[in-house]
Amino acid sequence: MGAQLRIYRRRMRSVKATKKITKAMELISASRIVKAQQRVTASTPYANELTRAVSAVATYSSTNHPLTTPSPNPIRAAILIISADRGMAGAYSNNAIKEGEQLATLLRGRGLQTTSYLVGRKAVNYYRFRNRAIAGSWTGFSDNPTYENAKEVADALMVAFLADAQTEIGGVDEIHIVFTEFESMMVQNAQAKRMLPLEVVESDAPVPTGLLPMYEFEPSGEKVLNALLPRYIEARVFNAMLQSAASEHAARRRAMKSATDNADELIKSLTRLANAARQAEITQEISEIVGGADALASASAGSE
């Protein structure tokens, strides 16, 4: 019984030490998610307005720009997957990677080759473990991305898109991004969206009917697109990184709270088992004492 009691107490100490870690991580994520939400709130309107501006130029000008005109014979697509650098965030990274796998399967079904660009150690390790080719990878900033990080990723994607996929190694005809959209503290959804060629006008305004408005572009529609589209890619990538960072903190906070609650339940269960073992040990000792006293009494009576 004494050995069993020591085992229970040792497990309780181990669980309590783990609980301190999970509780600390929960508090850290809870403190960081407020700032992450504020950054998402500040970035999203800018990214949406920039998307509307690029869409307006692409829609209302007669310019055939390579960044807005789909390739007649696409052969290769780039997929940017944004995951986490660290674990203990539930299924956050797995959901993004799984969404990327489904997107890659869909693109291959269209006859396209896929090129992978990865943000976060979880996605990088997933691809390296399976010996898959990686066109570009970035790590170390998944929970607190900066605009410089987004610009570095966007520049690599732009170089690949502007290269001729028909003749140059590494060139792509489409760019898709997979990230986790932050909806609330409890809801975060993995999303896959196509960034280039531009295809969606993101606007809450009703679709115009009748004659379309006339726009004049100075110096020209092509030069306006040349100036706007790099900013558009940078803004979309940065916003996706911020959304993913907020989702990562929310997922880690939820996972760590669940782990802390489970540790509390396990400690209660081990405490009951330890108390039962201790009670059994005391009962056994009392029984041995009583048995020894009876034996002594019997021996004394026999000697008389």
| pLDDT value for 303 | 64
pLDDT tens-digit readout, 172-196? 989 999 999 998 888 899 999 998 8
Residue 270 lies in a domain: no
| pLDDT value for 239 | 93
Q: What is the DSSP string of 87-146?
A: --STTHHHHHHHHHHHHHHHHHHTT-EEEEEEESHHHHHHHHHTT---SEEE-S-TTS--
Question: Structurally, how many domains does the chain consist of?
Answer: 1
Structure-block tokens of residue 83: 């995951």
Distance CA 12, CA 267 (A): 6
Residue 14 lies in a domain: no
| pLDDT value for 203 | 42
Whether pLDDT at 205 is above 60: no
Residue 279 lies in a domain: no
Mean pLDDT on 113-132: 94
Structure-block tokens of residue 75: 């052969």
Q: For the domain that residue 42 is a member of, what is the CATH number?
A: 3.40.1380.10
pLDDT tier, 290 (very low <50, low <70, confident <90, very high otherwise): confident
Whether pLDDT at 288 is above 90: no
β-bridge mates for residue 167, sequence order: none
Residue type, position 176, single letter: H
Residue 282 lies in a domain: no
| pLDDT value for 211 | 47
Residue 303 lies in a domain: no
| Residue 117 burial (C-beta neighbours within 10 Å; 0-12, 13-18, 19+) | buried
Mean pLDDT on 75-101: 93
Label residue 207 left, alpha or beta by phi (over 0 means left) and psi (-120 to 50 means alpha). Answer: beta
194 phi and psi, to 5 degrees? -95, 125
Structure-block tokens of residue 135: 């066109």
Residue 277 lies in a domain: no
Q: Which domain holds residue 77?
A: 21-202+215-257
**Upper half-sphere CA count for residue 83 (Cβ side, 13 Å):** 31
Query: C-alpha distances in angstroms, 58 versus 42, 225, 229?
Result: 26, 8, 10
Residue 278 lies in a domain: no
pLDDT tens-digit readout, 46-80? 888 888 777 777 666 666 666 677 777 888 999 99
CB 260 within 8 A of CB 15: no
CB 79 within 8 A of CB 101: no
Residue 85 lies in a domain: yes
pLDDT tens-digit readout, 4-44? 888 888 999 999 999 999 999 999 998 898 899 899 989 88
Handedness of CA 55, 60, 66, 70 (dihedral sign): positive
pLDDT tens-digit readout, 234-275? 999 999 999 999 999 999 999 999 999 999 999 999 999 888
* Mean pLDDT (the chain, rounded): 85
| pLDDT value for 73 | 84
